[in-house]
Amino acid sequence: MSMTTGTSTPPPAEFLVQPDPDDPRLTRTVAGVDQHGDPLTTSVTVERPLTLYLNGQEIVTMMTIGDYPDYLAVGYLLNQNMLRADDEITGVDYDEVIDVVVVRTARQTNYEDKLKKKTLTSGCAQGTVFGDVMEKFDQAHLPAEAVLHTSWLYSLLKKINTAPSLYLGAGAIHGCVLCQGDRPLVYMEDVGRHNAVDKIAGYMHLHGLGGADKMFYTTGRLTSEMVIKTVQMGIPILISRSGFTAWGVDLARRAGLTLIGRAKGKRFIALSGQERIRFDADPAHADDEPRHLQRKGSR
């Protein structure tokens, strides 16, 4: 199996994977003017098409920043129920010249009928959810014994918000982080939040990481799509710096998912699964959100 990497330098011990804002493939410099008419140059995030094949069948063309195409491809197929958890992946091949990634499996697959049933989701850029996703969602069981200490939450927010990222350098990006306790493990970014989620799902699958003792952080809104994908990954706690949609809250309650939004600095709101939260830290002693994030607002 050919595997790709998206970082040129080893990440610190805190992260297994994290963004590399210095990767020249991911941004470019553009000239313009500011509000006074003065000339300036700024970094902008690059997006490029990536066409995904499952065995011999073309599945979808996604707009992505182009890092970790193997994780994105496998995670997308998992979250669309085109790959089963027990499928043997015999190869993941990426051709950077023609922007194509091919996932090969031992099981013969044919998803023509499934592709005909696709519906557009609320995600940024392009996203699809297929007719049988909700069946898998209703069969999921999240561990009731999972807990979130507020001391972990405050520590995670500080570590994530101070880590180098494309968002801080160029913006126009979403970030997602797989966490365990007070440690951020895998930090992925992309132009669409669903792509960032799928990259983490692919990483978990290819590295054999379970979700029962993990938490998921996202910069994006807590929509039905975010809730469904988190539940499909078996992760019992979902956290966002952004707000909620009504259906996202309804689905979280239906699945027994702990749902925390508007998590900025010392503040947060929980609308589902509050029984998992252990209030072991005084918010008065937590750090406020860094000023650079206050100025940028919600991602």
In angstroms, the CA 281 to CA 283 distance is: 6
In angstroms, the CA 112 to CA 57 distance is: 9
Pairing relation of β-strands 183-190 and 258-264?
unpaired
**Local confidence pLDDT in tens for the 299 residues of the chain:** 444 444 444 444 578 999 888 898 998 999 999 888 999 998 889 999 999 999 999 999 999 999 999 999 999 999 888 998 899 999 999 999 999 999 999 998 887 666 665 544 444 544 444 456 777 788 889 999 999 999 999 999 999 988 888 877 766 789 999 999 999 999 999 998 889 999 999 999 999 999 999 999 999 999 999 999 999 999 999 999 999 999 999 999 999 999 999 999 899 999 999 999 999 999 988 888 766 565 554 44
In angstroms, the CA 13 to CA 119 distance is: 40
Q: SS3 for 32?
A: strand
The tokens 């239906």 sit on which residue? 254
Q: Looking at residue 296, what is its pLDDT?
A: 53
Helix spans in the chain (H): 69-79, 112-116, 133-139, 150-162, 166-169, 193-206, 224-232, 246-255, 291-296
Length of the chain: 299
Q: Which domains does the chain have, with CATH numbers?
A: 148-296 (3.40.140.10)
Q: Looking at residue 288, what is its pLDDT?
A: 82
Q: Looking at residue 117, what is its pLDDT?
A: 55
In angstroms, the CA 258 to CA 123 distance is: 21
Q: Looking at residue 256, what is its pLDDT?
A: 96
Q: Looking at residue 13, what is its pLDDT?
A: 57
- Using CB atoms within 10 A of its CB, is residue 86 exposed (0-12), middle (13-18) or buried (19+)? exposed
Q: Looking at residue 251, what is its pLDDT?
A: 95
